[in-house]
Structure 1
């Protein structure tokens, strides 16, 4: 059974757009007819993102910096007339050392990139995602079409050896998502996806001996992001959805 989405006339902001998963989410939204505001601190020149294709506009900004986030969100809303969806894809991994040997800079880095970006993007997007501001919401005020999907991680569900700060930051994303869902009940839906290892060139290079066939490709995760933004998940909010297949 094939599945298709129609996000025509909708506007989606995607953070971390120059990465493997972010670019896949941008492509999926654009293929479904949405206007995509692709945001990243990294310009798409050497990234998988095709910023030249129809319906994708790139916005350069550091989403750990609140002034940058406010500017980008304002530019997106001013240019496109509203905002319907936010995909918090920006994130990274660091690990390899136990807590007793991990420096404080690693803590700051992981919580900035994984959790602070999600917080700041959500904070500034939520007023525009509520009924009556975005294009989709204007058509049917109060139908909860405004949606946020953020990226947590399977490893956020339990402690582990060597990457405690990554796990903690991704657990923070999950709890932040649940809190937004509670605070915005009836206005904005908020859900998270939980990948394990994503099948990217960088991960294959980092783990050459792993069973890559069990890893999930970014395009498949992007489809789940679209499901959670779509009307098919209109009664789903506060969920953390596994997207790790057999990994």
Structure 2
């Protein structure tokens, strides 16, 4: 079976741009899902990239967006669920608004995208789903809302790996540490920047997990910490 298109959520972000570029360099069409805006529009003007604006935390909106994907001249066999967010906050500082926002941004976006993508990937004969957790989801000091919502993504990944096995869908997570992005550089020290992981390096791991070479791998949470 020929390699199909890749659906990338959160495609307008720094890691999203790197992931889209990695798949396009390999000749795979990409469906870029993200909130509407110029960054998504710019992606959609690239050759082989189909931009679909959507609120990824809204289940009904995601279902509608995937109906739009069905009308595109591509056949996706992979989902890369990158959409997510970060907010600081210790136990004393966390409140309902921040917790709810991070839960929807990190967990709901992955869940609704996987729910919509899985039957479509299975109908094509199988493929891959890759989610993005975090190093803080599994170890070390962390902020409450981000770490716990990302931990839920990691557990969702292992649950889906079992549930979707019959449909020949592999489900894995990558666990970044600090990523070298323009937003992160605003607060990182020069030493932290030097040790941060390049989005392009993470993109290569994600692309591998979506490739036939990764056929034996499912249910894994793969550290992409680099030297950070």
TM-score, reference length from structure 1 = 0.87
Flag the 1:85–1:242 CA change in 2: closer, same or farther, 3 A: same
Cα distance between partner residues in 2 of 1:81 and 1:27: 17
Cα distance in 2 for partners of 1:200, 1:72 equals: 28
Aligned with residue 110 of structure 1, among 99, 102, 109: 102
CA distance in 2, matches of 1:171, 1:73: 26
Which of 146, 153, 167 is the matching residue for 2:134? Answer: 153
Structure 1 34/46 Cα, relative in aligned 2: closer, same or farther at 3 Å? closer
Distance 1:105 1:112 in 2: 11
Partner Cα separation in structure 2 for residue 48 and residue 81 of structure 1: 19
Aligned to 2:162: 182
Aligned residue for 1:93? 86
CA change 1:55–1:46 in 2 (3 A) is closer
Instruction: Tell me, yes or no, if the aligned pair for 2:4 and 2:74 is still in contact at 8 Å.
Output: no
**Aligned match of 1:198:** 179
**Paired position in structure 2 for 1:66:** 59
Distance 1:118 1:35, change over 3 A: same
> Who is 1:241 aligned against?
222
Matched residue SS, 1:29: helix
Do the aligned residues in 1 keep the contact of 2:40 with 2:53 (CA within 8 Å)? no
Q: How many residues align?
A: 227
Deviation at 1:92, TM superposition (A): 1.0
The answer for the alignment partner of 1:13 in structure 2 is 7
Give distance in 2, aligned partners of 1:207 and 1:81: 40
Q: 1:207 Cα deviation (Å)? A: 1.8
CA contact (8 A) 1:149 1:191 kept: yes
Point out where structure 1 has 5 or more consecutive residues left out of the alignment.
1-6, 138-143
Pairs within 5 Å for 1:33-48: 33-43=27-37, 45-46=38-39
Distance 1:23 1:72 in 2: 20
Is contact 2:34–2:40 with CA below 8 Å preserved after alignment? no
Q: 1:177-235: per-residue Cα shift (whole Å, max 9, x none)?
A: 00000111142100000000000111011223542111111111011001001011101
Secondary structure at 1:211 match in 2: helix
Q: Which deviates further from its counterpart, 99-108 or 171-180? A: 99-108
Q: Which runs of 5+ in 2 are unaligned?
A: none
- The alpha-carbon deviation at position 35 of structure 1 amounts to 1.2
The match for 1:26 is 20
TM alignment of 1:128-143, pairs within 5 A = 128-130=120-122, 133-134=123-124, 137=125
Deviation at 1:100? 2.4
Match of 2:72, SS state, is helix
Shift >4 Å, 4+ stretches = 46-49
